[in-house]
Structure 1
Amino acid sequence: MTQPRRTPAPDTGLSRHLARVMDDLVTIPGTRIGIGLDAVLGLLPGAGDILGSGMSAAIMYDAARRRVPLLVLARMAWNMLLDAALGLVPVVGDAADVAHRANRKNYRLLQASLAEGRTSTRSGPVYLLLAALLIVLPLVIGIAIGVLVLVALWSLLTR
Structure 2
Amino acid sequence: MSPLPAPLSSADSATLEQVRRLARQLDTSIRLPGGLRIGWDAVLGLVPAVGDWAGALLSSYIVLQAARLGASREVLLRMVGNVAVEALVGAVPFLGDVFDAAWRANVRNVRLLENHLAAPTATQRASQAWVLGVVLLLVALMALAMTLAVLTWSALASWVSQT
Place the TM-score, normalised by the shorter chain, in its bin. Answer: 0.5 to 0.7
Distance in 2 separating the partners of 1:16 and 1:78: 19
Pick from 63, 68, 89 the counterpart of residue 65 of structure 1.
Answer: 68
Distance in 2 separating the partners of 1:62 and 1:91: 31
Aligned twin of 1:124: none
What's the offset of the Cα at 1:117? 4.7
The structure having more radius of gyration, on CA atoms, is: 2
Q: Which has the higher contact order (CA 8 A, sep 6+)?
A: 1
Aligned twin of 1:30: 34
Moved segments of 4+, more than 6 Å: none
| Number of residue pairs the alignment of both structures matches | 112
Query: Is it true that 1:104 corresponds to 2:107 in the alignment?
Result: yes
What's the offset of the Cα at 1:115? 1.5
Distance in 1 separating the partners of 2:120 and 2:78: 18
Cα pair 2:23 2:110 within 8 Å, conserved: yes
Distance in 2 separating the partners of 1:109 and 1:78: 12
Cα pair 2:30 2:40 within 8 Å, conserved: no
Which amino acid in the other structure matches residue 18 of structure 2?
L
Aligned twin of 2:19: 15
Residue aligned with 2:70, SS: coil
- Which runs of 5 or more residues in structure 2 are unaligned? 122-163
After TM superposition, the score normalised by the length of structure 1 is 0.65
Cα pair 2:27 2:41 within 8 Å, conserved: yes
Aligned twin of 1:144: none
Q: Sequence identity, in percent?
A: 41
After TM superposition, the score normalised by the length of structure 2 is 0.63
Which amino acid in the other structure matches residue 73 of structure 1?
L
Query: Is it true that 1:52 corresponds to 2:55 in the alignment?
Result: yes
Query: Is it true that 1:39 corresponds to 2:42 in the alignment?
Result: yes
Which amino acid in the other structure matches residue 56 of structure 1?
S
